[in-house]
Amino acid sequence: MKPFNPERRDFLKKSALSAGSALVLGITWSGEIVAEADATPEFKPNAWLKIDTHGLVTLYIAESEMGQGPFTSLSMLIAEELEVDWQKVQVEHAPLDPAYGFQGTGGSRSVRRNWKTLRQAGAVARQMLLAAGAEYLKAPVDSCQAQRSRITHRPSSKSVSYAELVGRAAEMPVPKGVTLKQPEDFKLIGTPITRLDLADKLNGKARYGIDTKLPNMVYATIAQSPVFGGRVKSFNDTEIKQRPGIIDCFALEEGVVVVAQGTWQAFQARKALKIDWQGGKTGQLNSDNIIQRLSDETAQKPTLILERGEPIAQLASALKSVDTEYRLPFQAHMTPEPMNCTVGVEDGRYRIWAPTQSPTSAMTTAVKTLKALMPELSEAELEARIEIVTPLLGGGFGRRIKQDYVTQAVKIAHHLKRPVQLIWPREEDVQHDHYHPLTQHRLRGSLDEAGNPQAWHHLITGLQSGKYGADALAYDIPHVRVELLRLDSPVPIGPWRSVSNHYNAYAIEHFFDELARAGGKNPLELRLKLLKEARLKAVLQRAAEATAWHQQDQQRILGCAVHSSFGSHVAEIVELIRLDEQKLKLGKITCVIDCGVAINPDTVKAQLEGSVIYALGAALKPPIMLKNGRVEQHNFHDTPILSFKETPPIEVIISRSRLDPGGVGEPGVPPLAPALANALLSAHGKPVTRMPMNLNGAS
């Protein structure tokens, strides 16, 4: 798919929102589609924005808003160059359209990949408004300036609003080669601004996928095999269909579907299902044996990720060495909004409300699903019959990159031939997540005579585990080998906030402290000595100052960790307070980030606070456990997330920078668990080889 070029008049290809004005597709809160002929002209120079004759600026954001703030931060990029009055900006999810390229939100990429494009989109529009304004004011363009939604002729101070220029600007040629502002000239970027999606999140008006209501809509839910890959053999459909409010009950490849007049009736009927399952891929597997079993079954060998020097020879002849193994468990996403998808069906056309991190993947998935059901139609014909609508997402964290709920909802709608909303109960969500993988880390390291790390060997073994976060060791150690044994997984695995950086940074950063202690070194000072990246060193230095690192004692114990990921550099320091000889409690957590230019500093701060809390929950709370091939947990009572009272004070410090922006949604996650483990190592003298951690030493 070709990327958007803001210097072309690149209108939407598919949506009725296309060129000029003519037709505006509105979706009311009740989900009805209202097509209204709109006679008033608009200025819509590209796929990202339009200005109407009231001066209202509508921005179309092609990244999914799931709380991480792209509605606001990406709007700021456009508005910075458009010189628009922020009070007149409103924002919507962009429709699915090739003009936006691949529409998928993940990898903390939203700002990075839109950084230039969106500023250019705003600058192009501003130049066209300037040309129109100069013409209107009968003045040379270079004596005019754009500011707060007006074009002003500087010498005379005469001005005209964007609203008045809408028709004229649309006639102007699209400029080539616009010049973007230098960072020192930014007016919006870098200022904490009120988020555009907040007002409706305080009054119940915000519409998430699960809030979609269509005329004559029915509610469906599903029961999937507790053992992964199991299939329905038989079930009590006759009994279920006799229940009040039940419209249908049938089996899909994925499980048994119940359709009812209301969500609750569907959920109750699901509980009454008696399903005989057969087969499945995981029946003999437990969290404790899965790595061993899968390693034994496969002939897979580790892949070499990184090697320098002679690590194996050095380790064999080492004077002093450390050998350890960490095992980190499966984790669930626990998005607050459970998986759901709503499909409107009319005359063979499908309109799909998918709270997804990737509308493009939702389309691909829907086409593939319908193709299997209607092989007589070509993929292009099917795509033309499908529209993807992206409502707000009640959390994502990587879970909504997967499209299983879209596949199921499309199948169900095709079966019923009527509008339907599929909602997974929480229990289904916990037992059929695409989990953060279980991983095991064997680490061996040796020290030279002076106690400095000399050799480093890290073998990562895990279910579809990844190398990122371990593929470029941040430390200047002479002999290094990093290997990855990525096992094929019968348990669904997916991206989870910070993906492989989470477990790899844990292994590296906790083992670094084990080595530093074995060599009699202060782990923070040793990091400052061996870190190769100046920006990472700088954030650690800053964190050390903010926490008075050198003023630790028996009552106040600190642990630090650093990690670079998604283009940003983060240091975190966890403080433990000793209550008595046995008991410790969490003190303050300090987090310093260098993310280049911080577009909306308040959002950066919020994302870092959220990342710390997310990672702290994973470190301290019971994880997902596999037993006899099934997930043992069911809901928030046995898969708890961190609560309000368990959250310690968190200080976030953002380094000032004019460098191009890095990601902010995920980089705060990886350093937290190792920083906490390092504080515990300091307190108890024992490494933390398993999660969840126990503050009082029995881990």
Partner 1 sequence: MDLMAVTLHVNGSANRVEAESDIPLLWVLRDQLGLTGTKYSCGIGVCGSCMVLLDGMPAKACRITAAECAGKKITTIEGLAEQADHPLLKSWLELQVPQCGYCQSGQIIMAYALLSEKHDPSADEIDQAMSQILCRCGTYPRIRQAIQQASEMMRAKEPS
Binding site for partner 1 (CB under 8 A): 30, 66-69, 194-195, 197-208, 210-211, 213, 219, 244-245, 262-265, 267, 334-338, 392-397, 423, 425-426, 602, 606, 609-614, 635-637, 641-647, 649-650
Contact 536, 474 (CB under 8 A): yes
Residue 219: Cβ within 10 Å count: 22
Token output for 151: 């074009």
| Nearer of residues 248 and 609 to partner 1, judged by Cβ | 609
| Nearer of residues 265 and 408 to partner 1, judged by Cβ | 265
Q: Closest distance between partner 1 and the C-beta of residue 654, in Å?
A: 15
Q: Closest distance between partner 1 and the C-beta of residue 45, in Å?
A: 31
Contact partners, residue 180, CB within 8 Å, separation at least 6: 81, 116, 119, 120, 123
| Nearer of residues 261 and 295 to partner 1, judged by Cβ | 261
Token output for 626: 């596999």
Q: What share of the chain is helix, strand, coil (3-state, %, to 5)?
A: 30, 25, 45
Residue 651: Cβ within 10 Å count: 17
Mapped onto helix, strand or coil, the DSSP state of residue 403 is: coil
Q: Closest distance between partner 1 and the C-beta of residue 206, in Å?
A: 5
Q: Closest distance between partner 1 and the C-beta of residue 642, in Å?
A: 7
| Nearer of residues 12 and 220 to partner 1, judged by Cβ | 220
| Nearer of residues 190 and 462 to partner 1, judged by Cβ | 190
Compute the residue count for the chain.
699
Cα(24)–Cα(18) distance, integer angstroms:
8
Considering only CA atoms, give the Rg of the chain. 28
Residue 289: Cβ within 10 Å count: 12
Q: How far lies 401's CA from each of 1, 64, 103, 111, in Å?
A: 18, 10, 11, 18
| Nearer of residues 266 and 443 to partner 1, judged by Cβ | 266
CB-neighbour burial class of residue 447 (10 A; exposed 0-12, middle 13-18, buried 19+)? buried
Cα(368)–Cα(383) distance, integer angstroms:
10
Residue 172 is which amino acid?
Answer: M
665 closest CA partner among 65, 102, 59, 3: 65
Cα(50)–Cα(27) distance, integer angstroms:
18
| Nearer of residues 52 and 211 to partner 1, judged by Cβ | 211
**Eight-class DSSP state of 331:** B
Q: What are the two backbone dihedrals, phi and then psi, of residue 632, each rounded to the nearest 5 degrees?
A: -80, -20
Q: Closest distance between partner 1 and the C-beta of residue 110, in Å?
A: 14
| Nearer of residues 81 and 428 to partner 1, judged by Cβ | 428
Helix axes 601-620, 672-684, angle to 10 degrees: 50
- Strands 556-565, 568-578: pairing kind: antiparallel
| Nearer of residues 202 and 299 to partner 1, judged by Cβ | 202
Contact 600, 588 (CB under 8 A): no
Mapped onto helix, strand or coil, the DSSP state of residue 431 is: helix
| Nearer of residues 204 and 375 to partner 1, judged by Cβ | 204
Contact partners, residue 65, CB within 8 Å, separation at least 6: 71, 93, 197, 392, 393
| Nearer of residues 386 and 613 to partner 1, judged by Cβ | 613
